[in-house]
Amino acid sequence: MFETKFIIVVRDDLATWQKLNVTAFLATGVGAADPSLIGEEYRDRAGNVYHPLCAQPIIILAGDQVTLAKVQERAISRGVATALYIEEMFSTGHDAANRAVFAEFAPEDAKVAGIAFSADRKLADKITKGAKMHS
């Protein structure tokens, strides 16, 4: 059993490609911020080496825009660092443009497409209250 939870919450009204894109981006953000979440390299029987993966399960949840805004608000109020993807980032083509459009919004007017973080299990549950397992 892990003492922390690695959680990604995606907006349930996004297109499938958008959900996958957001999930991938957010996972890299949390993993980069906390290298202890990343395990060891993988090796197959032939000796080929593969990149390490997350060392613990990643829980994928879903919710509507209101739920994601509440998750963001709870994380901020509790001082939990997050990775955040907003809707306007879908229209950009590179990292610098993503950061530029991101900077145009505050928490109260951001259209959150996804949010991710790693935190103590009980705290993570409180922050994500109202989000459901993604199906």
Q: Which residue has the tokens 């209250």?
A: 129
- Going from N- to C-terminal start, the domains of the chain cover 4-133
Query: Tens of pLDDT along 65-97?
Result: 999 999 999 999 999 999 999 999 999 989 999
Please give the share of the chain, as a percent, with pLDDT higher than 90: 97
pTM of the model: 0.94
d(CA 85, CA 92): 12
CATH class of 4-133: alpha beta
SS3 content of the chain, % helix, strand, coil (to 5): 40, 25, 35
Query: Tens of pLDDT along 43-52?
Result: 999 999 999 9
- Structure tokens given for 123: 């705290």
